[in-house]
Amino acid sequence: MVKPMKKPYKYDAFISYRHADLDRFVAENLQKQLEWFKIPGSLKKDKKLSRTKIERIFRDKDELPLTNNLEDPIRKALEESEYLIVICSPRLKESLWCRKEIETFISLHGRENIFAVLVEGEPAESFPEELLYREKTVTHPDGSTETVKEEMEPLAADVRGKNKRDVLKVMKTEKLRLIAPMLGVGFDDLKQRHREQKLKKILGFTAAGAAVCLAFGVVSTAMVMQIREQKKQIQIQNDSLAEQAAQISSQNDILSREQALSLAEESGRLLKKGDRIGAMQTAISALTEYDGIAMPYTAQAQKALADSLYVYNRTGDFLSRYEVKTDSVITDMQSSGDMSYYALKESAGDITVKESEYGHTVGKLAGLPGYSDGGMFFIDDSRLVYQNEEKELLVFDAKTGENEKPELPGSAYNYYLSEDRTRIAVSGYNYLRIIDAEDYTEVQNLDEYCKEQTGQIYFNEDSTAVVLTLRNSDDVMSEDRRLLYLGLTDDTKRYSDWKTAYVEDVAFKDGCMYVLTYENRDELYSVFDSYLEAYEESTGKLLYRKEYKNVMLNDILFSRGDDDSMLLYGSYEADAVSRKNGEVYLRAETGISGIVYAEAVNGANLYSYITSDGCQYIMSYENNVSFTHGVTFDCFADRIYYTVRLAKGFVMATHTENRAVCYQRFYPTDDTLTDKTPDRENTEVLWGNEVQETAKEKGYVLPKLAEGIFYNEDKTITFVTYQDSSLRMYDTASGELLAEITDTPGDASEYYGKDAQGNYYVGFGSWAYMMSPGNENLAFLRGMAQIDESGKLLTTDNLDNYYLCPVYTLDELLAMAEADVVKYTQNEITE
């Protein structure tokens, strides 16, 4: 039975789960398998489905509390999700957050679209009451009513297994129980069609041409084998078989062109996912040779090569520079002091250290396995502190490749670096020491506090004092905390006058100590308030206490200028506040896109932060005027989790993949800078109803979608822009379709003219397409201004600078690409 059409949702489903190891493992892998699921083609053809694909599943990365604020990001995600998938284990009933998510979804959408996934235990002990029962009003014969619990049987998938490998094996089939109702089909039908699709896929591996658009690797192998075989036939033909040899040669030409086009398409796909060097290598193969076979020229391959080189992208946008791969999921990233190196930690424990310029690996380390972030940091420009599998503290030098092991009483549980990078606090089972960050010698023995110490250790500005987070009772499970300010060069010992369960950050500036905390104002809905307390460091005197309602703030950043501001930020809000009194100068709320990175920028009143959707914001204020400016990354993923700063950009990763992508701004070189500015007149464009009448009269395609018409300089080419963001070029005299481009950035309405090589340019504003004299698309340009009288391109960046850009020949493009590939792929170390 096909479900009726419903309102559009942003998410196909919301996954609710307890953030324990197995529950998280199932949730992460289920999200991947649902989003990657390919609906069988036969099902799409034979059935009227309620959806054609599963695009987006929401899974919160942290155990975020639900609030009673309608603008809360989790509630908003629940509102925008069509289905709720509950990961059920005996631990689920202990989570108030998960149960509130279920209750909220039921109140918003009812019970029909809730699925359960059993990962451990029996249904009775793992399914929450919200799924097993619903309240029902019963009317008795005497007219009285009674509210009773009616037993329910939720739609459930069973993925229980002896280990995680078994769970993944079972999930391959059980996921279909969830997908079937989402598509509006039966489970058995979907299971059979899925099996048939897999069988066809296996059988299809032997077909040479039929899988060109479905499996790039299979197509490439099949084509190469066929081309080689046919070349062999050509070589053995004698004069009497000349005609047959010619036919085989013609077939080879067709196959070679298809191969080149397939490679060009693959190059574009790789660039889109952030693998710029892979895209470049693939485009080179498409234009030279692939697996020993010469490839014919195609304009598509030349465009793919130009796109991957960014030679015509002149705006200075953040673009992918290179991709790095790891063996398992990335769980943490850190960069060195001068940002010339960075380290990637994996769930399996491995740590890969890379130089930031080209992503070359300079070290592979065996770290401590686990999914939690943290546990490593750079002391300076090259030395990385980390733990091995035995929880020993080690220091790796990226410049020398050597490891050092500081002398400590035992395994290191936690360790923290001072702000001036001169001291390291290390705590173990029965010790707490302060060591020198240069030679690792002991500076202070604080063992007497190790049993009370819990949470982070903070240093003041010059590392002459530390702040310890201590338990305030003998109960080791108590969340009651207090702070101890302890002098390292004198006898100062000062406890905080207040108690708090949640200390988020402690920071020092100009003789003041700032403490950022939060508390849960409503236990049922988990509504949080944050507090900033400022103390005079020398006396411990409280200067002020500022409250920030309905927000959880986690970190403190000080301005790099001479102003009195600092930035307080959490996952979904950033506040620029006064250090003098905590008053808010500027507040930025990010909605559902969390803050994944923040820094103070050189200059007064200036901060930057990056959100999980790949957008960078600049926060500034002056003379009580504030603004927030956004710059979008050409991002490889919908949701970024880790971001660190590098010397020339950023490296970013999700929390579900084994790869990261380095981004940087690509500006033109200074030697092409010019004082020239655009002086051309805008192109005359015909708009309105007359456009559709003209398109119909001329016999152009889709005349009812035609939106605007304009011409080249001698009116031999007619350009028609369409409402579906497509652009088509016609021969004005004959009406013949010369070329078409789909998915343009906007309504094309500008003809820029021709360059010295005869290529013509069409687009709008600062974007344009380079079209060859034969009407083939050779490049997409960002920052286009006009054609210079010399035939070069006058382009502009996002800082309003103008440059003269040459039009590169194919040989020049290949030479640049081959040189770049060498830079990025040489000098890689091997395990």
Helix (H, G, I), strand (E, B) or coil at 237: coil
**Which residue do the tokens 């820029």 mark?**
752
Q: What's the average model confidence in pLDDT over 468-481?
A: 62
The band of 100, judged by pLDDT with boundaries at 50, 70 and 90, is: confident
Decide if pLDDT at 372 tops 60: no
Q: With beta carbons less than 8 A apart as the criterion, state whether 558 and 509 touch.
A: yes
| pLDDT attached to residue 123 | 86
Q: What's the average model confidence in pLDDT over 153-158?
A: 87
The share of the chain scoring above pLDDT 70, in percent, equals 86
| pLDDT attached to residue 209 | 38
The band of 807, judged by pLDDT with boundaries at 50, 70 and 90, is: very high
379 in a structural domain: no
| pLDDT attached to residue 210 | 38
CATH number, residue 515:
2.40.128.630
Please tell me whether residues 517 and 467 are part of one structural domain.
no
247 in a structural domain: yes
Which is more confidently placed, 741 or 481?
A: 741
Give dist(CA 254, CA 262) in Å, integer. 12
Among 228-232, 252-256, 263-267, 408-412, the least confident range: 228-232
The model's pLDDT over 495-514, given as tens digits with 9 standing for 90+, comes to 886 555 588 999 999 999 99
The share of the chain scoring above pLDDT 90, in percent, equals 49
Number of domains present in the structure of the chain: 5
293 in a structural domain: yes
| pLDDT attached to residue 148 | 79
Q: What are the phi and psi torsion angles at 442 (to 5°)?
A: -70, 135
342 in a structural domain: no
Q: With beta carbons less than 8 A apart as the criterion, state whether 493 and 504 touch.
A: no
Mean of per-residue pLDDT scores for the chain: 85
| pLDDT attached to residue 213 | 39
Range of the domain at 604: 502-632
Give dist(CA 215, CA 231) in Å, integer. 24
- Which residues make beta-bridge pairs with 573? 589
Task: Please classify residue 808 by burial: count the beta carbons closer than 10 Å to its beta carbon, then call 0-12 exposed, 13-18 middle and 19+ buried.
Answer: buried
| pLDDT attached to residue 208 | 38
> Of 147, 171, 205, which residue sits at a domain end?
205
> Of 166, 184, 205, which residue sits at a domain end?
205
The band of 830, judged by pLDDT with boundaries at 50, 70 and 90, is: very low
What Cα–Cα distance (Å) separates residue 354 from each residue in 225, 279, 345, 430, 640?
38, 21, 12, 35, 20
Please tell me whether residues 31 and 168 are part of one structural domain.
yes
316 in a structural domain: no
Please tell me whether residues 516 and 465 are part of one structural domain.
no
Which is more confidently placed, 70 or 801?
A: 801
| pLDDT attached to residue 300 | 96
> Of 575, 610, 632, which residue sits at a domain end?
632
Which is more confidently placed, 125 or 206?
A: 125
| pLDDT attached to residue 670 | 60
Decide if pLDDT at 154 tops 80: yes
DSSP conformational letter for 680: P
CATH number, residue 788:
2.40.128
Which is more confidently placed, 598 or 187?
A: 598
Please tell me whether residues 436 and 582 are part of one structural domain.
no
Angle at 627 between CA 784 and CA 313, to 5 degrees: 20
Structure-derived torsion over alpha carbons of residues 320, 322, 324, 330, reported in degrees to the nearest 10: -20
Please tell me whether residues 747 and 769 are part of one structural domain.
yes
Q: With beta carbons less than 8 A apart as the criterion, state whether 585 and 576 touch.
A: yes
| pLDDT attached to residue 410 | 87
Please tell me whether residues 511 and 474 are part of one structural domain.
no
130 in a structural domain: yes
Q: What's the average model confidence in pLDDT over 633-643?
A: 78
The pair of three-digit structure tokens given for residue 794, joined into one six-digit string: 């006058």
| pLDDT attached to residue 151 | 82
C-beta neighbour count of 247 within 10 angstroms: 12
Which is more confidently placed, 360 or 454?
A: 360
Please tell me whether residues 742 and 628 are part of one structural domain.
no
Decide if pLDDT at 625 tops 60: no
Please tell me whether residues 149 and 84 are part of one structural domain.
yes
Decide if pLDDT at 604 tops 80: no
Q: With beta carbons less than 8 A apart as the criterion, state whether 604 and 559 touch.
A: yes
In 3D space, the residue among 609, 604, 607 whose CA is nearest the CA of residue 590 turns out to be 609
Contacts of 383 (CB under 8 A, 6+ apart): 395, 396, 397, 398
Please, what sign has the CA dihedral across residues 164, 168, 170, 176? positive
The pair of three-digit structure tokens given for residue 519, joined into one six-digit string: 């508390």
| b/e per residue 316-329 (b: at least 16 CB within 10 A) | bbbbbbbbbebeeb
Please tell me whether residues 545 and 455 are part of one structural domain.
no
Decide if pLDDT at 315 tops 60: yes
Q: With beta carbons less than 8 A apart as the criterion, state whether 258 and 209 touch.
A: yes
The band of 2, judged by pLDDT with boundaries at 50, 70 and 90, is: very low
Angle at 513 between CA 512 and CA 519, to 5 degrees: 140
Give dist(CA 650, CA 356) in Å, integer. 9
289 in a structural domain: yes
Q: What's the average model confidence in pLDDT over 779-786?
A: 92
pTM for the full model? 0.69
CATH number, residue 435:
2.40.10
Task: Please classify residue 304 by burial: count the beta carbons closer than 10 Å to its beta carbon, then call 0-12 exposed, 13-18 middle and 19+ buried.
Answer: buried
Contacts of 786 (CB under 8 A, 6+ apart): 678, 679, 680, 752, 753, 794
Please tell me whether residues 289 and 414 are part of one structural domain.
no
Decide if pLDDT at 708 tops 80: yes
Please tell me whether residues 134 and 250 are part of one structural domain.
no
| pLDDT attached to residue 142 | 82
Q: What are the phi and psi torsion angles at 307 (to 5°)?
A: -60, -40
Give dist(CA 652, CA 661) in Å, integer. 5
Q: What are the phi and psi torsion angles at 87 (to 5°)?
A: -85, 115
The pair of three-digit structure tokens given for residue 790, joined into one six-digit string: 């010399």
332 in a structural domain: no
Q: With beta carbons less than 8 A apart as the criterion, state whether 760 and 768 touch.
A: no
Please tell me whether residues 145 and 260 are part of one structural domain.
no
| pLDDT attached to residue 695 | 94
The band of 374, judged by pLDDT with boundaries at 50, 70 and 90, is: low
Q: What's the average model confidence in pLDDT over 22-40?
A: 88
| pLDDT attached to residue 254 | 87
The band of 703, judged by pLDDT with boundaries at 50, 70 and 90, is: very high
The model's pLDDT over 236-281, given as tens digits with 9 standing for 90+, comes to 655 555 665 567 667 878 888 999 999 999 999 999 999 999 999 9
